[in-house]
């Protein structure tokens, strides 16, 4: 995240705007959130959501900061917001980061994912969604990475 040109302005926005919340979808170990804190962003404004709880648990072991960051990392599924840790953040997010995430799904899944992202944002002008995704001008057939037990193929 810190390599994006927007990083400095997002960091400054988090420092200055009392109510702004950043959500990192698919945060894995949450190292980008920890970098934001290291760079001066208030921890209480940061959240990470990960589908696989084992990644969150492993992050506590790796960084030795479970007591500090545990409330900021939630198990969440953008396709099932009301029934996951994302429910309390729905409609409250100002800045959403999703990197190497949306392209994991087929076209319908990508559309549903983007609808979920919009539902996470505050209904106001000025919200930011950023990140990086992979893509091709011509779709290819590839393995469905969302569910490793699923042998169906998706197009990217």
pLDDT at site 153: 44
Q: What is the pLDDT of residue 114?
A: 95
DSSP H helices, 1-156, are 7-16, 31-38, 53-63, 66-69, 107-120
Q: Which residues are within 8 A (CB) of 155 and not within 5 positions of it... i.e. 6 or more apart?
A: 106, 107, 139, 140, 141, 142
Q: What is the pLDDT of residue 125?
A: 83
Question: Which two three-digit tokens encode residue 86?
Answer: 């994302």
DSSP-based three-state secondary structure for 113:
helix
pLDDT of residue 24: 97
**pTM value > 0.95:** no
CATH architecture of 7-155: 3-Layer(aba) Sandwich (3.40)
Tens digit of pLDDT at every position of the chain (156 positions): 999 999 999 999 999 998 999 999 999 999 999 999 999 999 999 999 999 999 999 999 999 999 999 989 999 999 999 999 999 999 999 999 999 888 888 888 889 999 999 999 999 888 999 998 777 677 666 665 555 554 444 444
């Amino acid at each position: 995240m810190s390599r994006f040109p927007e990083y400095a302005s997002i960091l400054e926005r988090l420092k200055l705007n009392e109510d702004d919340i950043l959500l990192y979808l698919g945060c894995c170990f949450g190292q980008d959130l920890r970098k934001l804190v290291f760079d001066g962003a208030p921890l209480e404004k940061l959240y990470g959501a990960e589908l696989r709880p084992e990644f969150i648990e492993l992050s506590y072991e790796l960084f030795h900061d479970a007591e500090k960051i545990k409330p900021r990392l939630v198990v969440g599924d953008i396709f099932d917001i009301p029934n996951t840790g994302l429910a309390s953040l729905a409609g409250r997010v100002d800045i959403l980061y999703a990197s190497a995430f949306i392209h994991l799904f087929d076209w319908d899944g990508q559309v549903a994912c983007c609808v979920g992202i919009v539902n996470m944002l505050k209904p106001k002008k000025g919200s930011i969604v950023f990140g990086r995704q992979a893509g091709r001008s011509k779709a290819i057939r590839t393995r469905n990475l969302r569910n490793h037990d699923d042998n169906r193929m998706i197009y990217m």
